[in-house]
Structure 1
């Protein structure tokens, strides 16, 4: 099948499929004589696997490691279990961070009452002071972009 068909079947944009090929998560498809990519069922299966992993907020390196482990069906599954345990720890940490973020936003929102001007706004004033306090409590290497992980997670290669 061509890229448009596999994109539709997987529910993944064409650009994302090309990106997965570029970073090595998806093997290169065969090329037809016309030069078009020709995808097989194995490509669709891999894309659906990647999509499920991304829906679980797994990083590319985690997905790459799971694919590597899946290619060794007779191996002990303890490495898979360990990877999932690390990911679960990461998710729990993010939940704690989000709860803290929620509490900060509630405090900021309660700082404003109706009938005030922007110059008197407790939210804007609170952001000026809260933002500094938030930054002081965050490690410099922490990354809070969904789907990414801070330090402490093994990276089998240099691609992220």
Structure 2
């Protein structure tokens, strides 16, 4: 018989909060867990630990819940063409690259604002002027 895990143990082993595990169950990213006979506690298998670890890693990489759901679906189709997985990853990469470009532009603007500061009084502050309507 395989070793069963409590929700607390599952949370510790994956670094996912208990509340988040329950949320993932509610939205269908994790299947409803088995329940213990004594106390009706949630009981998880190694398969659920692996699935939650997959979800955690995908979230760490910034994939959306919908993208993760699609990736999990594709992961279960071993003979399916990998192009669909690649398309999801490429779409996500494009989004990340756009964010990096936006943040780079923001950094440049903030550096210019800070560089324009004469370090005088707030009434003459170029940063406050630039932020004011």
Tell me if TM exceeds 0.5.
Answer: yes
5+ residue gaps, structure 1: 130-160
Give CA deviations for 1:128-155 in whole Å, capped at 9, x if unaligned: 25xxxxxxxxxxxxxxxxxxxxxxxxxx
Residue deviations 1:91-144 (CA, integer Å, cap 9, x gap)? 111111111111111111112122x11221111111125xxxxxxxxxxxxxxx
Alignment TM-score, normalising by the size of structure 2: 0.91
The aligned length equals: 128
Say which of 8, 12, 15 aligns to 1:8: 12
- Determine the structure 1 residue equivalent to 2:123: 119
Moved over 4 A (4+): none
What corresponds to 1:97 in structure 2?
102
User: Is the Cα contact below 8 Å between 1:21 and 1:28 reproduced in 2?
Assistant: yes
Aligned equivalents of 2:115, 2:64: Cα separation in 1: 36
**Which has the larger helix fraction?**
2
Higher gyration radius (CA): 2
Higher relative contact order (CA 8 A, sep 6+): 1
**What residue number does 1:27 align with?**
31
Question: Please, what TM-score do these two structures have when normalized by structure 1?
Answer: 0.76
Q: How does 1:1-160 map to 2 (within 5 A)?
A: 1-33=5-37, 34-114=39-119, 116-128=120-132
